[in-house]
Copies of this chain bind each other. A is one copy, B any other.
Amino acid sequence: MAPITNGRVLFAAIPSGYPVLGQDLVYDTTQTIDLESVPLGGGVLIKTLDLSVDPYMRQRMRPAEVPSYLPAFPLGEPIVSAGIAVVLRSEHAGFKAGDHVEGVLPHQQYTIIAEPEKVPLIPLHVVDNPHGLKWSAFLGVLGIPGHTAYFAWKAYSQAKKGQTVFVTTGAGALVIQLAKLDGCKVIGSAGSDEKVQFMKDIGADVAFNYKTEDTREVLQREGPVDIYWDNVGGDTFDAVLENAARNARIIACGMISAYNEPRGVPIYKMHLVFAKCITIVGFLVSDHYSAESLAAFVKDVHAGVASGALKHQEELFDGLERAGEGLLAVLRGTNKGKAVIHVADE
C-alpha cells in the first residue's frame, strides 16, 4: 500500500494571548506514513479517532523554561491531549489490532507508540466500554472531565441535603447532576443561552447567562453559597467569596480566566476566606485514579449515561484540521458542550 498523508497540528509559535491559527498552531500535511510497513519498534500503530481540546492546553503553549504543573509543548512538534484511538497493528503484548485505547496522544492522524506504558500523564491503556457508548464520550462525561467531576465531588464536596451549590460553565453538567442527586440547590452560570437552557434541562434550580446577568446579584438573591465548583477564577471567585456561607467549600479545578493573562487575574477578597472560615481545595484528577475509583465511576456514571439518567452534551469538530478552531472555542467559551475533535470514524 502506498504511503498516505499523516496530518498533524503543530505548535509553531508561542502565543501572547489567544493562539492565532496558521501562526501559533499550524495544520501540517507534509508527512506521509505507510500503514502496512512502517516499523513499530515493539510498540503499536494507532489511528486517532477523537481528541479532546481543553482550556489547560493553553498553559502548555508557553516557553519551555517557564515552570508549571505540566511541561510546555515542544515547539515544532504536534500538540498533545487526551485522545481515543483504535489499534491498527501491534507488536506489544498488551495490545491487539482492534483494541480501543485512551492516552495522551499527539494531534496527528496516525501514530506509532513504541512504549505505550511510558506515555506521560495518561499511559496508553485499553478502554472498556461495557455499555457500548459513543467513543467521543470517553473524552467528556466518561473521560477526564467526568472523572474530575465525579472524583472531586465525592472527595471534597461534603455536600449535605439542602446546601446551595454554584457551578460555573456548562462543563459542570455532571457536577450539577451529582449535586441534585445529593439533594442540593444548584445555581449554574454559563456564557450562552443554549448552555443556560441545558443547565435547566438537567436540573439546575437557577441558571443564568453571566454575560447578561450579574453574578453578584444572582448569588446575593439565591445564595449564600455553601459549595462553589470553580472553573473560572477572577472576578467570579470574588463574587463567590462575597456571597459565601460560613464554612463554605471551594473546589478549584481550573481557572480559565487566568490562562490568557500573563500576570494572572486578580482576586481581591481573599481576606473573606478567614472571615467566613472558607476552605479552598485545589486538586489534580491524576491523583485520584485507582481500581476502586474507576469501578465506582463505571457503576455510577457509565450506567447513568447508558440509561439516560445522566445527561451530557458535546460539540464535535469534524476533521483534525479543525483542532485549532476547537481549542479557541473552549478558550473563548463559545463551545456547546464538551468540545471534541472528531478525527476519523473507525
Interface residues of A (CB under 8 A from B): 59, 68-69, 233, 237, 252-255, 258-259, 263-284, 287
A200 vs chain B, min Cβ distance (A): 28
A231 vs chain B, min Cβ distance (A): 10
**Docked pose: A279 CA to B255 CA in angstroms:** 15
Task: Enumerate chain B residues within 8 angstroms of A237, measured Cβ to Cβ.
Answer: 270
A144 vs chain B, min Cβ distance (A): 14
**Known contacts A275-B69, A276-B69, A279-B281, A263 near B268 by CB under 8 Å:** yes
Residue in A68, A258, A287 with the greatest tally of chain B CB atoms within 10 Å: A258
Task: Enumerate chain B residues within 8 angstroms of A69, measured Cβ to Cβ.
Answer: 275-276
Contact of A277 among B276, B278, B287 (CB under 8 A): B287
Asked whether, in the complex, the Cβ of B274 is within 8 Å of the Cβ of A282, the reply is yes
Asked whether, in the complex, the Cβ of B271 is within 8 Å of the Cβ of A280, the reply is no
Task: Enumerate chain B residues within 8 angstroms of A269, measured Cβ to Cβ.
Answer: 264
**Known contacts A279-B281, A280-B279, A274 near B287 by CB under 8 Å:** no
A258 vs chain B, min Cβ distance (A): 4
Task: Enumerate chain B residues within 8 angstroms of A283, measured Cβ to Cβ.
Answer: 274, 277
Task: Enumerate chain B residues within 8 angstroms of A268, measured Cβ to Cβ.
Answer: 263-267
**Docked pose: A266 CA to B263 CA in angstroms:** 12
Question: Top 8 nearest A-B pairs by Cβ distance?
Answer: A266-B266, A264-B268, A69-B275, A273-B282, A258-B271, A280-B280, A255-B271, A274-B282
A168 vs chain B, min Cβ distance (A): 13
**Docked pose: A290 CA to B115 CA in angstroms:** 58
Task: Enumerate chain B residues within 8 angstroms of A284, measured Cβ to Cβ.
Answer: 274-275, 277
Contact of A282 among B254, B265, B275 (CB under 8 A): B275
Task: Enumerate chain B residues within 8 angstroms of A258, measured Cβ to Cβ.
Answer: 270-271
Task: Enumerate chain B residues within 8 angstroms of A59, measured Cβ to Cβ.
Answer: 275
23 A-B pairs with CB atoms under 8 Å apart are: A68-B275, A69-B276, A233-B271, A252-B273, A254-B274, A255-B271, A258-B270, A264-B269, A264-B270, A265-B271, A266-B267, A266-B268, A267-B268, A270-B270, A272-B282, A273-B280, A274-B282, A274-B283, A277-B282, A277-B283, A277-B287, A279-B279, A280-B280
**Docked pose: A277 CA to B263 CA in angstroms:** 20
Asked whether, in the complex, the Cβ of B278 is within 8 Å of the Cβ of A282, the reply is yes
**Docked pose: A338 CA to B269 CA in angstroms:** 27
Residue in A276, A280, A284 with the greatest tally of chain B CB atoms within 10 Å: A280
Contact of A276 among B255, B275, B282 (CB under 8 A): B282
Contact of A270 among B267, B274, B277, B287 (CB under 8 A): B267
A171 vs chain B, min Cβ distance (A): 14
A293 vs chain B, min Cβ distance (A): 16
Task: Enumerate chain B residues within 8 angstroms of A259, measured Cβ to Cβ.
Answer: 271
A279 vs chain B, min Cβ distance (A): 5
Asked whether, in the complex, the Cβ of A233 is within 8 Å of the Cβ of B263, the reply is no
**From A242, which residue of chain B is reached at the shortest CB distance?**
B67
**From A70, which residue of chain B is reached at the shortest CB distance?**
B275
A41 vs chain B, min Cβ distance (A): 34
**From A156, which residue of chain B is reached at the shortest CB distance?**
B279
A309 vs chain B, min Cβ distance (A): 30
